[in-house]
């Protein structure tokens, strides 16, 4: 058995799963866990930032590092999922954007840009096992993957307009890569959160299953479709589909950062976000 070593983790840990496969931890932090199934070569990246996997600077950085680890370890595919039973990811951490410090705000947005480019442009097949709610940035992660399977009774969508903010172009492009233009425009302008059933109906998710295990199995099945396909040809084909969106952000990173800072620090945005956060806190009491 080949032992994969990770720059971030040192010697790999072996975790027997069943008699046919061995799950090996490639890298692990407090916020993420990256494990590869030795038999299939497919890696599972579990987001683990309780209570809701809100994406702060550290979690975004760990996600990006994990994707790179999966790629450098030559994994055959990558599945994103959550350690929570009810939330895939609550999107960007409001605490990074509400009453922010400028330097931290810049690092935060720059990390989000990098993470998105790494995931959206990844050479290996990517899939999301959406085992909980996936609003805004959570939906961005899922739609950046090539395949999505979701558990019933949760919600997913880009709800930015509900919070009084505007989804940047690249959020919209990830949506448009999955949804018909008319559906995407209507959903974005309304800040619509789709139920699992609605998401499947419009094509925002590809499949619906009842358990996380089934969701991972569906993702493995999807990634298995490429078993006999030359990985180089596959990666270049994927890249051709996505290159315009990736270049658009790459070439306008600084402008995008400045637009974000201007939008977020605008007093009316701060007031709207403050009210939204207050409401969230009240609801959770
Ligand atoms: C034309 C030019 C355009 C230029 C554009 C340029 C820039 C654009 C500017 C800005 C774009 C910024 C983009 C932002 C995208 C985002 O991702 S914003 C985040 C949106 N997320 C949400 O709206 C989700 C809010 N959360 C929920 O709805 C629920 O929490 C949940 C996910 C459905 C889970 O519900 P559940 O009941 O299980 O949990 P609670 O609600 O009780 O929450 C527990 C706990 O967690 C806190 N919390 C929830 N979400 C967040 C969050 N996103 N960030 C931080 N904290 C969060 C919640 O407040 C509770 O805290 P507690 O009360 O202290 O326990």
Give the CA count within 13 Å in the CB-facing half-sphere of 225: 13
Tell me: pLDDT of 11 over 60: no
Whether this model's ipTM surpasses 0.90 comes out as: yes
CA–CA distances in Å: residue 120 to residues 11, 93, 125, 184:
29, 20, 10, 18
Q: For the chain, what are the domain ranges?
A: 24-284
Atom of ligand 1 nearest to the CA of 90: 32
Tell me: pLDDT of 285 over 90: no
Q: What is the pLDDT of residues 74-113, one digit of tens each?
A: 999 999 999 999 999 999 999 999 999 999 999 999 999 9
CA 32 to CA 236: how far, in whole Å? 28
Atom of ligand 1 nearest to the CA of 159: 23
- Residue 103 gets the label, from left (phi > 0), alpha (psi -120 to 50) or beta, of alpha
Question: Locate tokens 């209507």: which residue?
Answer: 186
Above pLDDT 70, what percent of the chain?
93
Q: Which mutation among 47, 50, 51, 52 tests ligand 1's pocket best, with the greatest number of atoms within 8 A of CB?
A: 52
Atom of ligand 1 nearest to the CA of 52: 46
The secondary structure of the chain, three-state, reads CCCCCECCCECCEEEEEECCEEEEEEEECCCEEEEEECCCCEEEEEECCCCCCCECHHHHHHHHHHHHHHHHCCCCEEEEEECCCCECCCCECHHHHCCCCHHHHHHHHHHHHHHHHHHHCCCCCEEEEECCEEECHHHHHHHHCCEEEECCCCEEECCHHHHCCCCCHHHHHHHHCCCCHHHHHHHHHHCCCEEHHHHHHHCCCCEECCCHHHHHHHHHHHHHCCCCCCHHHHHHHHHHHHHHHHHHHHHCHHHHHHHHHHHHHCHHHHHHHHHHHHHHHHHHC
Q: What is the pLDDT of residues 182-233, one digit of tens each?
A: 999 999 999 999 999 999 999 999 999 999 999 999 999 999 999 999 999 9
CA 174 to CA 185: how far, in whole Å? 13
Is 92 designated active site? yes
C-alpha 92 – ligand 1 centre gap (Å) = 6
Question: Averaged over 257-281, what is the pLDDT?
Answer: 95
Is 160 designated active site? yes
**What b/e sequence results for 64-100 when a residue is b if at least 16 CB atoms lie within 10 Å of its CB, and e otherwise?**
bbbbebbeebebbbbbbbbbbeebbbbbbbbebbeeb
Is 159 designated active site? yes
Name the CATH superfamily for 24-284: 2-enoyl-CoA Hydratase; Chain A, domain 1 (3.90.226.10)
Q: Are 31 and 49 in contact (CB under 8 A)?
A: yes
The crossing angle, in degrees rounded to 10, of helices 231-251 and 253-265 is: 60
Q: Considering the entire predicted model, what is its pTM?
A: 0.94
Task: Please state whether the peptide bond connecting residue 51 to the residue before it is cis, i.e. omega within 30 degrees of 0.
Answer: yes
C-alpha 90 – ligand 1 centre gap (Å) = 5
Q: 121, 132, 137, 138: which is the annotated catalytic residue?
A: 137
Nearest Cα residue to atom 6 of ligand 1: 260
Q: 35, 146, 160, 220: which is the annotated catalytic residue?
A: 160
C-alpha 63 – ligand 1 centre gap (Å) = 18
Nearest Cα residue to atom 40 of ligand 1: 284
Q: 34, 92, 140, 204: which is the annotated catalytic residue?
A: 92
């Amino acid at each position: 058995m080949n032992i994969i070593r990770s720059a971030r983790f040192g010697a790999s840990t072996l975790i027997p799963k069943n008699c046919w496969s061995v799950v090996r931890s490639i890298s692990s932090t407090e916020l993420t866990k990256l494990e590869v199934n030795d038999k299939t070569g497919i890696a599972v990246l579990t987001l683990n930032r309780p209570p809701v996997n809100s994406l702060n600077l550290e979690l975004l950085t760990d996600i990006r590092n994990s994707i790179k680890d999966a790629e450098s370890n030559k994994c055959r595919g990558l599945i994103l999922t959550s350690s929570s039973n009810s939330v895939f990811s609550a999107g960007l951490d409001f605490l990074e954007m509400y009453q922010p410090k400028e330097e931290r705000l810049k690092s935060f947005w720059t990390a989000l840009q990098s993470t998105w480019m790494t995931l959206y442009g990844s050479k290996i097949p990517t899939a999301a096992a959406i085992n909980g709610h996936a609003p805004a940035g959570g939906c961005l992660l899922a739609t950046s993957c090539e395949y999505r399977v979701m558990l019933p009774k949760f919600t997913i969508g880009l709800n930015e307009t509900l919070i009084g903010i505007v989804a940047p172009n690249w959020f919209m492009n990830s949506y448009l890569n999955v949804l018909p233009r008319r559906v995407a425009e209507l959903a974005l302008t309304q800040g619509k959160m789709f139920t699992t059933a609605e998401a499947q109906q419009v094509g925002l998710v590809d499949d619906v299953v009842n358990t996380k295990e089934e969701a991972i199995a569906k993702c493995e099945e999807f990634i298995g479709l490429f078993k006999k396909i030359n990985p180089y040809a596959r990666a270049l084909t994927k890249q051709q589909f996505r290159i315009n969106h990736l270049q658009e952000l790459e070439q306008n990173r600084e402008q995008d950062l400045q637009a974000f800072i201007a939008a977020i620090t605008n007093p009316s945005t701060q007031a709207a976000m403050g009210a939204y956060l207050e409401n969230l806190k009240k609801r959770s009491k």
